[in-house]
DNA sequence: TAATATAGGTACTTATAAGTGCCTGTAAAG
DNA sequence: CTTTACAGGCACTTATAAGTACCTATATTA
């Protein structure tokens, strides 16, 4: 049991787990399946190696992702949503969907979305 | 139309609007109805006046809340979700609900949630 | 008559989040 | 035989988010 702490509203607890610049992005990618570190890095060209590792550690510590280490050389590590992490699926999907609509509203088109595997369904 | 910008995944656009330490909290409170600045301040004891105003301005600029000014002295200003803001209702509710479950999981009880109007349904 | 509530603004400072650069070790490919 | 991919660690620096302190103006209340 963690040290006592007070929240004024429950959403603060959620933000402690998935808040920040990168965590939702990482989790969204993981809703599409297990990913290796290098795959995640390619999917998020702007994240630094350090931030990626750091965020993955924190997500793991909060129990929303699993880290799978294969004992081989060169090293292979995969990340996946844990069972607990899958309980965020609805939220993550909604966040992505809202973002798409917001982009359409603000920019009038989807041109600001980089073309990649995840955005295939928009074409 | 805003200046062109690239997103790698649509959730990034969502986070530009509701990301950060306070915006989701403010919006959650507003899903329970129109609120005056001072009411919001009381609901969020840890936010500073400056941050509250700043976040409200940004939310207004992004079109998710409306600012209603009554021309009277002492001044009266109310904030409410805009029609566009209401499209976030599902997400905000889910974030709160997940937070409640997370608190129960991590702390084993709801004791870390301050008792206030919003958390009445938990007793 | 002095304090309080109201909704802020502004300059400055601090805390935290994020980024940079350089390092490990090995196997396979060029 | 040098380079690349792989998954990181660590010290240091910078950017951004957030906080502090002090200011405006007025009507009502104690």
Q: What is the pLDDT of residue B48?
A: 92
Judge whether B67 and B79 are in contact, CB under 8 Å.
yes
Interface check A88 vs B, CB under 8 A: yes
Domain boundaries, chain B: 10-87
Architecture of domain B10-87: Orthogonal Bundle (1.10)
Nucleotide nearest to B74 (CA to C1'): C6
Per-residue pLDDT at B122 exceeds 80: no
Tens-place pLDDT, residues A27-53: 999 999 999 999 999 999 999 999 999
Q: b/e per residue, B53-67, with b = 16+ CB within 10 A?
A: eebbebbeebebbbe
pTM for the full predicted model: 0.92
| Strand D nucleotides with an atom less than 7 Å from a protein beta carbon | 5-11, 17-22, 25-27
């Amino acid at each position: 049991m963690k040290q006592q702490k007070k929240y004024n509203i429950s959403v603060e607890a959620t933000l402690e787990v998935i808040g920040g610049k990168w965590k939702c992005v990482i989790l969204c990618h993981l809703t599409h399946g297990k990913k290796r570190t290098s795959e995640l890095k390619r999917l998020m060209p702007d994240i630094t190696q350090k931030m990626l590792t750091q965020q993955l550690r924190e997500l793991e510590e909060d129990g929303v992702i699993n880290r799978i280490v294969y004992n081989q050389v060169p090293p292979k590590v995969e990340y996946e949503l844990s069972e607990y992490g899958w309980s965020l699926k609805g939220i993550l999907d909604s966040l992505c969907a809202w973002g798409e609509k917001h982009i359409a509203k603000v920019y009038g088109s989807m041109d600001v979305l980089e073309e990649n595997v995840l955005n295939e369904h928009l074409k």
